[in-house]
Amino acid sequence: MSILSGKNILLGVSAGIAAYKTASLVRLFIKAGAQVKVVMTPASIDFVTPLTLSTLSQNPVYSTFFDKKDEETEEWNSHVELGLWADYMLVAPATANTLSKMANGVCDNLLLATYLSAKCKVYFAPTMDLDMYQHPTTKSNIEKLQKFGNVFIAPSSGFLASGLTGEGRMEEPENIVSFIENEIMNGLPLFKKKVLITAGPTYEAIDPVRFIGNHSSGKMGFELAKTAASLGAEVYLISGPSHEVVTTSAIKRIDVVSAEEMNNAVHTYYKDMDIAILSAAVADYKPKNISDQKIKKSSDSMTIELVKTHDILASLGKEKKHQFLVGFALETNNEIENAKLKLQKKNLDLIVLNSLQDKGAGFKTETNKVTLIDKLNNVTEFSLKSKEEVAADIFNEIAKTIHA
């Protein structure tokens, strides 16, 4: 799934022949999972119709400050609301005229008013004839916009509408979308980082139909994986049995059932990871002997001999070289002391403490309440939050440390 999935894209269209490419741009943004709204200069509607872009974007297209509903009623199109709505704004095509106005604060149409109101990152893709593009004023305006923090998508060389050949062609829609995706990814704090996350319970077989397990849903681990992916990481999610789903190709899901399988999978990937977060509720014990047939009920009681499973977290702490290692601790008493002991004993960089004493925290909930303890024994307590927000808090703490 694209980094643009779920994002709001505001496309500004000015009056250049390359405006015909905006239909493809809208389709590509929609295909990437983005929401798209289009703002046009009044002159640009001679090159591509608002109906076309409205149909493709599934949103109204805006070109004037007021829309006339009937003889007596006009509806205001708020440039402020449009600017606040957008996660990213793209002006494409950006003509020499529109570039000049953007660079010098001229505000004589809805597109320019929206640009001046936008709080988000703005990309611009120029289009014009080669002599216009090479003119000193155009070069100066592009440099000025870049100094403002706007991102320049350079035009390509090729056959121009004037019949000449040279620089000035607006970049092709596929390349524009790829440029924006890559530029966003490059700016994310975990770009090019590999993150391993474990999630869910493990099931330890007694016989073909029975097992020892726990109530973990895996939701916390899956939220961590989603957050890591949104921050630009390549994520390896090793999950025990869980109904949670992965919705992005940035997350590689590896399904396991038992503690032994999870141990093997974790050690397969760990050496190549930058960050490892072990949030799975791995069974501490498993049956010593597993029956290959369903055990029949033959007496009032039954004894199952249990043996320890691998301590995956401790083994990773011993093998740790460059990795940032995070563990979870679910405690019921002496929470802080027990978590600090686990942090030190298992050579962790950070431990996430859950307490079953906290209402709304623990297994099978949409919320969690955690305390983070780092290797210097700094303790940070958080209030009850959604697991999505908790995942963000955990990664904020990790980012502070690895980028310090």
| Binding-site residues from annotation for CTP | 284, 294, 328, 342, 346
Crossing angle of helices 136-147 and 96-104, rounded to 10°: 50
Distance of CA 156 to the CA centre of its chain: 30
345 vs 318: CA distance, rounded Å: 10
Strands 8-13, 88-94: pairing is parallel
CA–CA separation, 94 and 55 (whole Å)? 22
Q: Which residues are within 8 A (CB) of 176 and not within 5 positions of it... i.e. 6 or more apart?
A: 25, 90, 92, 123, 125, 153
Q: Which two tokens stand for residue 156?
A: 């390509």
Q: In sequence order, which residues have a C-beta less than 8 Å from that of residue 110 and are 6 or more positions away? A: 39, 41, 62, 63, 64, 65, 77, 79
**Whole-number Å distance between alpha carbons of 283 and 263:** 11
Task: Yes or no: say if 343 and 375 are a contact pair by the CB < 8 Å rule.
Answer: yes
Residues known to be catalytic = 214
CA distances to 143, 274, 282 from 238, in Å: 47, 16, 12
In 3-state terms, the chain is what percent helix, strand and coil (to 5)? 35, 25, 40
3-state secondary structure of 241: coil
- Three-class SS state of 371: strand
Q: Which residues are annotated as a binding site?
A: 284, 294, 328, 342, 346
Count of C-beta atoms within a 10 Å radius of residue 404: 5
